[in-house]
Amino acid sequence: MRSGFTLHVPYRTHIKATTRADLRGNYQLILDSAMTELLTATEAAYGASVFVSSGWRNPRRNLAAGSTVPSNHQHGGALDMQPVGQKQMTGATRRSAYLRLYNAARSVRSRVVLLEKGPKAVYPSSAAVPSPTPETPDNNEDGIPDAATSGGSKVESLFDIASHVHIDRAAPDEADDD
């Protein structure tokens, strides 16, 4: 057995076929312990379809993506999502779309929601984004107060560099199959 490429035996009910190509990749069957449920609930809260940039990953693909070895992507319990058309969006329009998607994901029952650039979180885990107020205005109308900061960075700049919103749920029965 090669070191670093292990996948624990999943529950039989989590091996599924999917009609969504963005969840399937090159596979006819995938592991899906919560992925479809998370996606459906997030899209309902978002009010539109989202683009899935990463769903289930086999261990080799997970390592190539720069993810952690125990990633929930490996048992079908995590998704990386982007607003549809985000590559054509810029400035306040892009930030607003990512904020809506991030907040939609936060409203879904999950273990964690992250705003990420590649495999790195750029905004605190599942943290609420401040809302504009008369004291903290949002002059560019992206939904984020212009002066809001997190970890010494402007929150707007963190949404500018984000590549996706990550959502995941703990492994079934709190890691019985992981």
CATH label of the domain that carries residue 81: 3.30.1380
Which pLDDT score is estimated for 60?
A: 81
Q: Is residue 2 part of a domain?
A: no
Q: Among the residues of the chain, which ranges form H helices?
A: 21-24, 35-46, 59-64, 91-106, 155-161, 172-175
Range of the domain at 64: 34-175
Q: Is residue 23 part of a domain?
A: no
Indicate the pLDDT class of residue 88, thresholds 50, 70 and 90.
Answer: very high
Which pLDDT score is estimated for 14?
A: 63
**Integer Cα distance of 168 and 10 in angstroms:** 17
Indicate the pLDDT class of residue 9, thresholds 50, 70 and 90.
Answer: low
Q: Is residue 55 part of a domain?
A: yes
Q: Is residue 136 part of a domain?
A: yes
Q: Is residue 78 part of a domain?
A: yes
**Integer Cα distance of 135 and 170 in angstroms:** 38
Q: Is residue 17 part of a domain?
A: no
Looking at the DSSP assignment, which residues form a beta bridge with residue 16?
Answer: 30
Q: Is residue 25 part of a domain?
A: no
Residue 134 contacts residue 89 (beta carbons within 8 Å): no
Q: How many structural domains compose the chain?
A: 1
Give the CA angle between residues 174, 124, 131 to the nearest 5°.
Answer: 120
- Averaged over 108-122, what is the pLDDT? 94
Indicate the pLDDT class of residue 6, thresholds 50, 70 and 90.
Answer: low
Q: Is residue 13 part of a domain?
A: no
Which pLDDT score is estimated for 18?
A: 67
Which pLDDT score is estimated for 22?
A: 64
What pTM does this model have? 0.82
